Amino acid sequence: MSNLSIHSITKTFNHGQVTANDNISTQFSPGVITALTGHNGAGKTTLLNQIMGITKPDKGSVTFAGHSFIQEPSVARSMISMMPQLHAPLTGVTLRQSIEAVSRIRGHFDGDRKSELDKVLNALKIMDWANTTGEKLSGGLQRLTSFAMTVVAPAPILLFDEPTNDVDPVRRKLIWQYLGQLAESGHIVIVVTHNLLEVDQYADRYLLLDHGHLIKDESTNLASSNRLSENVLTLTTKRPLSVDDFPKSIKVKQDSALEYEIILTHSQIIPAINWLQQRIDLSEIVTYNLAPNSLDVMYGGLTDGDK
């Protein structure tokens, strides 16, 4: 099966003043769930829109199975199912009708395919609302409807822009399980999300965008195994501490006047706990927490969306 390849994609807006994507090159393989992460305005949606052929790049190429999606946007649309970030309320149309409409447009729906539709409704546990019209659905159910519309007749390439936003924890898990099955059956799955815990748990690979640049492209397994050997000690202190107050060779990040974050390797944990105990005895520590490192913490160190 073919990879989706993007090469040197660059997109600017406002006469070149805003660079949404800067020279991005990468590949997406069938069977892999890739999470696309990054701060607000990092360029994630712009990248999806260029893959889909909705936005034309200033330069670069998007190719799949011998087709250029930039030169052949209609081919792109037939090969891609996309769940957009904003979904229109489906006024007067029931949840079931919305999903069935997509299935019919894609030429999948006939008498036999009804069970296919029911399978999606059951998998996402939304059957109870099958006959409810769009305007009466909650935000989360509208999002689930939009997800079901994207997956009911899945194209080889599947793009999702924040599919789990507003969705409850049980159904968020169901969404990721569904994505796992789609990947297993050979689809290319790309998911824009800010939920790094879900990325850690369910995605195979993640890309991190920062101000339009691709700054990280890593397997989540690799990232977790690297992080497993690290822990994070967070502290709130009674008085400001200086670098000299901490054990030597420990790297301290000051989050605010009295808050500190320390990344500890395995061998630094015992000395750090001994040091912490002394400071507790001196009544200098207000609160502390020691936990395994997470993608969340690592992300904070790599990107600063405020700049």
Candidate residues 40, 242, 249, 256; the one interacting with ligand ATP per rule CB under 6 A: 40
The site that binds ligand ATP (CB under 6 A) totals a number of residues, namely: 12
Stretch that binds ligand ATP, among 33-41, 183-191, 200-208, 215-223 (CB under 6 A): 33-41
Stretch that binds ligand ATP, among 43-51, 89-97, 115-123, 282-290 (CB under 6 A): 43-51
108: left (phi over 0), alpha (psi -120 to 50) or beta: alpha
Q: Which residues lie closer than 8 Å to 87 by C-beta, 6 or more apart?
A: 142, 143, 145, 146
Please say which residue, 2 or 12, places its beta carbon nearer to ligand ATP: 12
Tell me the three state secondary structure of residue 117: helix
Candidate residues 35, 44, 145, 188; the one interacting with ligand ATP per rule CB under 6 A: 44
Which token pair is 290?
A: 């020691």
71 contacts 56 by C-beta, under 8 angstroms: no
Candidate residues 23, 26, 27, 41; the one interacting with ligand ATP per rule CB under 6 A: 41
Stretch that binds ligand ATP, among 14-22, 24-32, 176-184, 255-263 (CB under 6 A): 14-22
What is the rounded CA–CA span in Å between residue 234 and residue 107?
55
Please say which residue, 197 or 222, places its beta carbon nearer to ligand ATP: 197
- Closest by Cα among 69, 246, 38 to 161: 38
Pairing of strands 67-68, 59-64: antiparallel
Candidate residues 6, 20, 120, 262; the one interacting with ligand ATP per rule CB under 6 A: 20
Report the interface residues with ligand ATP, using CB under 6 A: 13-14, 18, 20, 38, 40-46
